[in-house]
Amino acid sequence: MADKFEQLKEQSHPNLMSKSAMTAASATRGSNELLFSEILTKVNNAKDKAKKIAVLKQYDHPSLRMIIKGSFDPSIEWDLPEGTPPYMANEAPAGTEHTILKNDAKRLWHFIKGADKNTTKTQKETLFIQMLEGLHQDEAQLILDAKNKKLHRVYKGLSESVVKEAFGWNDLFVKVEQK
Alpha carbon separation from 121 to 30, 114, 128 (Å, rounded): 36, 12, 10
Banded model confidence at residue 19, pLDDT cuts 50, 70, 90:
low
d(CA 101, CA 91) in angstroms, rounded, equals 15
Is 13 or 65 the better-scoring residue by pLDDT?
Answer: 65
Residue 27 exposed, middle or buried by CB count within 10 Å (0-12, 13-18, 19+): exposed
- As beta bridge partners, residue 175 has 169
Q: What is the mean pLDDT of residues 25-53?
A: 82
Domains of the chain by residue range: 35-167
Alpha-helix residue ranges (DSSP H) falling in the chain: 2-10, 19-28, 36-45, 49-58, 62-72, 101-104, 121-134, 137-147, 151-154, 160-167
Nearest Cα neighbor of 43 from 35, 52, 34 is 52
Q: Are 113 and 122 in contact (CB under 8 A)?
A: no
Model pLDDT for residues 46-64, shown as the tens digit of each residue:
999 999 999 999 999 999 9
* pLDDT tens sequence across 86-108: 999 988 887 777 889 999 999 99
CA-to-CA distance for 12 and 19, rounded, in angstroms? 11
- Mean pLDDT, the chain, integer: 85
pLDDT at 27: 45
With a cut of 50, say whether residue 177 has pLDDT above it: yes
Q: Is 73 helix (H, G, I), strand (E, B) or coil?
A: coil
3 pLDDT tier (thresholds 50, 70, 90): low
Q: What is the pLDDT of residue 1?
A: 59
**CB-CB contact of 129 with 173 (8 Å):** no
Distance of CA 173 to the CA centre of its chain: 20
